[in-house]
Every structure is written in structure tokens, then in C-alpha cells.
Amino acid sequence: MNCTLCNTPLVDKIDPEYFQCSTCKAYVKDETLYFNQEKEKQHYECHNNDVNDIGYQKFTSPITNTILEQCTTTMLGLDFGCGKGPVITKQLVDKGYQVKLYDPYFYPDTDYLNHRYDYIFSCEVFEHFYNPFEEIVKLTDLLRSGGLLVVMTHQYTGQQPFDKWYYRKDQTHVFIYTPQTITYIANKFGYHIELQTERIFVLRKK
């Protein structure tokens, strides 16, 4: 198996389920353990993503606040992988923002591919990418020069031993990022890193 981001052969299996890539430093799930589409959709349907839930709004607020601070209502945004409860889009649209939705299971209309975007955001989506290289290429092509890519995903920074870390225990988390992975992405795909914390990164397309 090769790394699904940088194509480096994966040889260092750090636990029974994950490899660590020697190039981009991501943690990549063994492909023999991937869910099939039916099982994956059932897993996502169990998520309680009520757009009016205050706790859910608070959880997603790092993305919402970033867009409110850096983008305007005249810009076009894309909520990529919005899930069945697109809470961020609901809050933005309520404030006059223009946002298109896409989710392979819940909002599968591919019309989103016919537009260019000033900002694209993904909340708890990037860790589900079976082919992050292809997905990031696609998003980069859809993003205007100078546009923002705003991503929430929990990066592994050695918080505790990897095999005990809660985030790797979700069976649909097939690609886990580290700070070095974000640097690799920025350099490979032509972005400046505007913000990077353990839970969110913001990239601006050059």
C-alpha cells in the first residue's frame, strides 16, 4: 500500500490498523479495513447533526467565525462534505452568505463542480478521505486564486500514544494528519498557511 496523499510506499505499521508515512508524516489506515459504502453511510446516519443544536454550533464555530471574519456576503463558498445537518452553512446563510452544499451521501448533486469558489470549508471531513491527493487537487482547482481552504480535523501531535488516541478509534477515520502533513499539503498544492492549530487549519491559495 502507498500513502494516499504523497504515494510513498508504506512500510512502518505503527499499530494493527495504521501506517505512518515517512514523507508527509500522516497516519494512513490499512486499506483492507475500509468500510464499504453501505456500512459507511449507516455510520454517518447515526451522527446527531441538528443545525439548531447549540453544542454543535459551538463545536463548529472555529470555521464559522473564520469565514465571518475573512469573507463577505458577495463571495461564493462551498460546504464540502456537509453531512446531513449543514450547521455552518445554516448560520452563514442566515447572515446573507452564499454557500453551495456537497456531500456524497446527503447532498450528492455534482453541480458544485460547475462553479469557482472564494472559500471552501470542510468540518470533520478530511480524515474520511480515501484518496486525499485527488480530493485536495479537486478542491484546489475549484478555489479561486487567493481563496481560503478552511478545514477542521483533529491533528495528531503526540497528545498520547497513538494506539490509545480517541480519534483513531473511529473506523471511518482513514487518514489522520499531523502538523508536518499540513506543511506538506501547503507546499505541494500551492498554499500559504494562514492558521494552524490542533483542530483547524486555514490555507490561502497562492
149-205 per-position pLDDT tens digit:
999 999 999 999 999 999 999 999 999 999 999 999 999 999 999 999 999 999 999
Within a domain: residue 15? no
Which domain range does residue 144 map to?
A: 40-159+181-205
Rounded to an integer, the average pLDDT of 87-111 is: 97
Which cell goes with 9? 510506499
Within a domain: residue 169? no
Within a domain: residue 146? yes
Q: Is the dihedral of CA 57, 61, 63, 67 positive or negative?
A: positive
Helix (H) or strand (E) holding 57, with range, is helix 54-70
- DSSP three-state, residue 93: helix
Residue 98 maps to which CATH number? 3.40.50.150
Rounded to an integer, the average pLDDT of 72-97 is: 97
Amino acid sitting at position 107: Y
Count of domains in the chain? Answer: 1
pLDDT of 43 reads 74
> What is the phi/psi pair of residue 52, to 5°?
-100, 0
Within a domain: residue 83? yes
pLDDT of 27 reads 98
Rounded to an integer, the average pLDDT of 48-75 is: 90
Cβ-proximal residues to 87 (8 Å cutoff; 6+ apart), any chain: 49, 50, 51, 53, 56, 57, 60
Each residue of 63-73: pLDDT tens digit? 999 999 999 99
Residue 182 CA to residue 120 CA, distance in Å, equals: 16
